Structure 1
Amino acid sequence: MNTATIAQPRLRLEDPHDCTDATDVLCVFDAFFDGLVRHGQDGGYVPALAKSWTVSGDACTWTFRLCEGLTFHDGTKCDADAVILSLRRMSRADKGYTLGAPGVWHQYLGDARIIAPDAQTVEITLARPMADLLDVLVYGYVIAPRAIDRYESGDVSTPVGTGPYRFESYRRGHDITGRRFDGWHGKQPANAQIRFVLEPDAGRRQTMLVDGEAQVASCLDFQQSHVLDHGD
């Protein structure tokens, strides 16, 4: 299959450093961006930009070793300094908006010391122990440094990250498309293209899934979706 189509009730591009729990937004972010780690299928954490990490006994100092040869979709190098630019931006008191409240990530990272001992290492030293820092860093999406000024100006129209897909187009009210990024650090996606399509009606999204017009459909109606065969 060349294109994976995902039917969603909402379709929009946002600043990845603003906090959200909206699955339709996070799904788009995960296509175009990486954090240091990702959620694993077993509920734990797996490498993303970081190939490994260690934590001090007091749970205050976390050290992440980056994968080698990381590049952004614009061709620039993704090293420790680039990662730190995004982590510091997301931790600002004026960032991390959710439900109109800024500073969501600031409460966790605002007083942290974030440094690069070398080009492949990110070290985060917290003011207080935090056992679940990895859960925050899953959403610490790393933006290409060249794109940060655009985001600062409010222009979120062109995502530039390191994710499995490189942004291609956004047609407001229709779809968002991405093309497989051959320079991605992980296992190459099976689909050459990804396409997020807007379909506000839950019944129609389910029909698209059943008819093969979409391979994924989010936020289906709980009762209506019982007719789907999920397997045992």
Structure 2
Amino acid sequence: MTQRILIVEDEDAIANGLKFNFEQEGYEAIVQRDGPGTLRYIDEHHGEVDLVILDLMLPGMSGYEICRAIRERDTDLPIIVLSARTLSEDKAHAFDCGTDQYVTKPFALPELLSRVRNLLSRLKRHANTPPDPPPTALEEFAFDDVHVDFRSFEIRRGEELHRLTTMEMQLLRYFIENEGAVLARTQILRDVWSQNADVTTRTIDNFVMRLRKYIEADPANPEHLLSVRGTGYRFTAGEKHASD
């Protein structure tokens, strides 16, 4: 089945150029030029979009808002932000909203095509795996007053419930699966963001700050997700239990 790419871009030259090149690569490419049209298309074609290319500066509804709305509908749909905004704050905000990768304009077409192929290949491998996880797969994890549900992408701490983005949950899973180990920032970049050259160690720090808000009673004085000066981070659960 031909994989479908949704291009969300209001500049005709860029949108048409992307559509042409994706179709030359054998993909089906659909163009939407604003947020409402994008979300309506995703709702009407649920499960039929394989990847989204998303501009940030759009009329009426920003790319950030669109990204968050997509994530509320689908936590796994790959999203690549394609934007002229180059500030680290813009990139951090985009990752906060749930994007998988961030490419700045002007961009090299071969690089973008490579990123698309990698994300879609990862999605295809995931789709070909059995729907039920193997018996050893970690589905839930609990420690202190925190309960993590990897299946629903939710964390409950006391009476508070938080829903995580795909990258937030992947990073938390990585920390939990490597409990007690000191993890260097470069190691985390390689293992969690293996395909994204635009992610920096500062991005990891931003994600860790958000995770602390979810799991720590006092995020300013963490007891579980600890900083290791000059290196990276170490996760310690203390009293815990994990279930398959």
TM over 0.5: no
Q: Which has the higher contact order (CA 8 A, sep 6+)?
A: 1
Give the structure with the higher percent helix.
2
How would you bin the TM-score normalised by the shorter chain? under 0.3
Q: TM-score, normalised by structure 2?
A: 0.24
Q: TM-score, normalised by structure 1?
A: 0.24
